[in-house]
Amino acid sequence: MRLILLGAPGSGKGTQAEFLAAGMGVLSISTGEMLRDAVAAGTDLGNKVRAIMATGELVDDETMADVVRERLGQSDAAAGFILDGYPRTLGQADTLASILEQKDWSLDAVVYIEVPEDELIQRALARQRADDQDEVIRQRQRVYRQQTQPLIDHYRVQGLLCEIDGHQTIDEVAKSVAAALEVTR
Ligand code: ADP
């Protein structure tokens, strides 16, 4: 199983990625988590992305291409994966397509968790993470709208998109995702 989870900041895609990974025994790859780990560890990558992450902007596509190519090249990815937080731009989607093509891998589905923007902002303001300040939250939503939302149509025209109503409890969303994937597989 090779999946992408798509959704705005605060849509709950990270939680759903973990549920799916646990339920299907598939590796979950969160680029946000990888970058936060790199920042915390003070690696070259971490030092490079620290400032940009703090603003709510995206790390550049080339840096992310290296991160993802390297991660998907590790042996555990061969059995399948759920990508949480990548791709986030059309350029990243192209990069991913070429990485997958080289490996002769295809995507099974792109799960899009849809939540109204008002609710996203409310949820985000209620969170406690250090980088979740007001302006940063709004900036991330803007970045999402401008750079990531185009991916929805990109994958829809490829027939890969599974749209899930994210305006439900976590358990209900998880059930909807499972049901959608049963149909897709
Ligand atoms: P969220 O809290 O929205 O789920 P993530 O944990 O996925 O966010 O990512 C946190 C931050 O890491 C992003 O705001 C961005 O700066 C950076 N980041 C993560 N994934 C990517 C990516 N695919 N492209 C560029 N930047 C990324």
CA distance 32 to 100: 20
Distance 32 CA to ligand 1 centre (A): 4
Tell me, what's the pLDDT at 131?
Answer: 55
**Rounded-to-integer distance, Cα 156 and Cα 16, Å:** 20
For atom 16 of ligand 1, the residue with the nearest CA is 53
> Quick one: pLDDT at residue 137?
82
Map residue 110 onto helix, strand or coil: strand
Measured by CA distance, the residue closest to atom 15 of ligand 1 is 58
Closest listed residue to residue 5, CA positions, set 90, 88, 106: 88
Low-confidence ranges of the chain (pLDDT < 70): 128-132, 183-185
Index of the ligand 1 atom closest to the CA of residue 129: 2
**Considering only CA atoms, which residue is closest to atom 14 of ligand 1?**
56
Long-range CB contacts (< 8 A, 24+ apart) of 160-165?
Answer: 160/107, 160/108, 160/109, 160/110, 161/109, 161/110, 161/112, 162/109, 162/110, 162/111, 162/112, 163/112, 163/114, 164/111, 164/112, 164/113, 164/114, 165/114
C-alpha span between 86 and 93 (Å, rounded): 8
> Quick one: tokens of 147?
């750079």
- Binding site membership of 166 for ligand 1 (Cβ less than 6 Å): no
Dist CA 122 CA 30 (whole Å)? 23
Which residue has a Cα nearest atom 23 of ligand 1?
Answer: 86
Instruction: State the closest ligand 1 atom to the C-alpha of 52, by its place in the atom list counted from 1.
Output: 16
The residue to mutate among 30, 31, 117, having the most atoms of ligand 1 within 8 angstroms of its beta carbon, is 31
3-state secondary structure (DSSP) of residue 153: helix
